[in-house]
Structures are given as C-alpha cells and as structure tokens.
C-alpha cells in the first residue's frame, strides 16, 4: 500500500508556486528605495536629477514617479501575464471537456478519461491536464484532482465548471452528457466575453487618446502662453509699466508663478495617468488591479514628455 505522505509530497511537486508575494515584495522594495531618494532630493541633501537645471521639487516629483513605477510595474505586468495565460487555458477548456465526454461515452470512468486526455495537445492547458493525469495515476481521486486544478488556475469560469462536474460525478449521473453541455456553455460564454472585450477596447483607446491630448495641451501652453506671460513681465519692468509692475505682486514674481504652474501641470498629469490607467483596467476586465499596467505605460509617457517639455 502506498504511503499517503509520499503521495501528498508527489502531488505538491505539481503545484505551481505562487510568485505573487515575491513580486509584491520586489515592488515594495523598489518603491521604498526610490521614495527615499525622492525625499533626499526634496530636502536638497543630494542632487540626483534627470536634467542639470532641475529644482528640488522637480527632482522629487520625478523620483516619486520612479517610486510609483517600481511598485505598480512588476505587479501590473505580472498580473497581465497571468491573466493572459489563464485566458489561453480557458480557451482550450471546451475542447478538453468535449474529449473527456467522448471518452466517457466509450465506457471510461471520469478518472480514466482524464488520464487518456493527458496525451492530447491543448496548448497552455496541456501541462495542467498532465498534472491532473499524474495525480490520478498516483491515487488521487478524479474529483480531488479537478479541485486542485481549479485551485491552481483560480478563475470563476473554471471553478464553476469543476463544481458542476464534481456534483454530477458525486450524484452518479451521466457525466458525458453533463460534460458536453458544459463544453457548449463555456464556448458560448467565451464568445460573449470576446464581443465585450472588442467593444471595450474602443473605450480604452479613447482613454489613451484623451491622455495624449492632455499632454499636447500642456505642451502648447508651455511653448506659447507661459513664455508670453514672461515677456509681458519683462515689458512691465521698464518704462511706464514699472509703476504698474511694482503695484502687482504677481508681476514682480511672475517667473516663480510660471514655475508653480508647470509643477501643477506635472502633478495633474501624474494623477491623470494613474486614474486613466485604473479606469482602463476596469473597462477591460472589471478589476482595478488590471489597470496598473496601463497606469505604468501612461506614467512612463508622462515622465519622458515632461523631460522634453
């Protein structure tokens, strides 16, 4: 008789390690490091700027963006990669269910049908099927192997499919008919989801376009309106305008006011990028975390745009 502890250890070999804590720890470390450098630049203890003429507040804001990018970048792209892999797994799930149903109609049990399907080719789903087949071969019940599969992938669609199959198997019904029905239903849900994503992609494109229009508007103000304000201030300093300039605190300190306006623009773009990215993620998948990748891209665009501006 096999040793239960040995069998459990073998099953654990096929469990995928969760890299999320390591990714989060890496992002947090990058954020803390860049945030500390930003603080040192703010108090003018160090001078690590991206241009030679940057003031402390400018250096602080640029390093603040680096800190935000360090936090949201690793987790955002890790989550996007994981979601893409899950979608590829779900894409082939109806084919796997159909093949298991066909094997069941030839008199195979659910466990035997899964083991036989382990030799098929289902793209990204193939490794998961091989894991289930290996677990069943080692003595793990088919329903438990399906539960482990749902735990690894952990999506509402797969959890629902596994729950239906397990309930049908426990009830002793015709699992083949249930699998066929679930396969058709899963395929229909995927087609509906594809239609929704195509429709939402238009709105995501609008978000990116509106962000770029905002950047272009700031650039136009910077190269036309703000320089004219400085020219007007210079004209007031001489001749008949000197008395008017002395009576106006704004005219006396106009270069500082223009600089503060530019800083306000910069902060607005940072908030704009974070908010638009989160909104794009909600429109894409319905989850805020999926928008971190879009926020990362917009913040990178904003940082380089302001280096040029």
pLDDT attached to residue 233 = 66
Stronger pLDDT, 124 or 234, i.e. the higher one:
124
Lowest mean pLDDT among 52-56, 195-199, 246-250: 246-250
Question: d(Cα 294, Cα 277) in Å, to the nearest integer?
Answer: 4
Stronger pLDDT, 284 or 216, i.e. the higher one:
216
pLDDT attached to residue 13 = 45
pLDDT attached to residue 11 = 46
CA angle 159, 162, 165 (to 5 degrees): 150
Which own/partner contact pairs does 11-17 have at CB distance under 8 Å and 24+ positions apart? Answer: 11/135, 11/138, 11/140, 11/148, 14/131, 14/134, 14/135, 15/148, 15/152, 16/152
Q: Is the pLDDT of residue 292 over 70?
A: yes
Question: d(Cα 243, Cα 237) in Å, to the nearest integer?
Answer: 8
Q: Is the pLDDT of residue 4 over 70?
A: no
C-beta of residue 252 within 8 angstroms of C-beta of residue 50: no
Please choose, from the candidates 301, 300, 283, the residue with its C-alpha nearest in 3D space to the C-alpha of residue 212. 301
Cα separation values, 78 from 85, 128, 162, 298, Å: 11, 20, 26, 17
Stronger pLDDT, 67 or 142, i.e. the higher one:
67
For the residues 165-189, what does the mean pLDDT come to? 83
What residue ranges do the domains of the chain occupy? Answer: 4-192, 194-308
pLDDT attached to residue 90 = 85
Task: Write down the mean pLDDT value for the chain.
Answer: 83
Q: What is the pTM of this model?
A: 0.78
- The string of pLDDT tens digits covering residues 68-123 is 999 999 998 998 888 888 888 888 888 888 888 888 887 788 888 888 887 778 88
For the residues 46-64, what does the mean pLDDT come to? 86
pLDDT attached to residue 235 = 62
For the residues 141-162, what does the mean pLDDT come to? 86
Question: d(Cα 75, Cα 293) in Å, to the nearest integer?
Answer: 8
Q: Is the pLDDT of residue 251 over 80?
A: no
pLDDT attached to residue 300 = 94
Q: Is the pLDDT of residue 247 over 60?
A: no
pLDDT attached to residue 2 = 45
pLDDT attached to residue 250 = 53
pLDDT attached to residue 173 = 64
- The string of pLDDT tens digits covering residues 190-240 is 888 888 888 888 999 999 999 999 999 999 988 888 887 777 766 655 554
Question: d(Cα 81, Cα 127) in Å, to the nearest integer?
Answer: 17
């Amino acid at each position: 008789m096999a040793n239960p502890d040995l069998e459990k250890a073998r099953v654990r070999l096929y469990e995928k390690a969760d890299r999320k804590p390591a990714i989060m720890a890496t992002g947090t470390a990058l954020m803390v490091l860049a945030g500390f450098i930003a603080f040192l630049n703010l108090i003018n203890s160090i001078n690590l700027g991206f241009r030679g003429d940057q003031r402390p507040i400018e250096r602080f804001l640029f390093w603040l963006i680096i800190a935000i990018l360090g936090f949201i970048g690793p987790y955002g792209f890790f989550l996007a990669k994981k979601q893409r892999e899950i979608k590829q797994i779900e894409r082939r799930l109806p084919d796997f269910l159909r093949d298991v149903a066909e094997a069941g109609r030839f008199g195979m049990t659910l466990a035997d049908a899964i083991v036989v399907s382990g030799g098929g080719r289902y793209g990204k789903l193939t490794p998961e099927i091989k894991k289930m087949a290996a677990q069943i071969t080692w003595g793990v019940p088919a329903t438990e192997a399906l539960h482990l599969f749902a735990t690894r992938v952990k999506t509402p669609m797969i959890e629902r499919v596994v729950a239906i199959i397990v309930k049908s198997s426990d009830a002793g019904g015709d699992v083949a008919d249930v699998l066929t029905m679930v396969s058709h239903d899963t395929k229909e849900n995927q087609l509906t989801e594809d239609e929704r994503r195509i429709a939402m992609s238009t709105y995501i494109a609008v978000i990116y376009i509106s962000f770029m229009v905002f950047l272009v508007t700031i650039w136009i103000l910077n190269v036309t309106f703000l320089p004219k304000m400085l020219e007007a201030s210079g004209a007031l300093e001489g001749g008949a305008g000197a008395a008017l300039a002395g009576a106006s605190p704004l005219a006396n300190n106009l270069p500082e006011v223009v600089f503060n306006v530019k800083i306000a623009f910069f902060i607005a773009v940072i908030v704009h990028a974070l908010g638009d990215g989160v909104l794009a993620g909600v429109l894409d998948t319905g989850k805020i975390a999926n928008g971190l990748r879009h926020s990362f891209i917009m913040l990178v665009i904003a940082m380089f745009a302001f280096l040029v501006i």
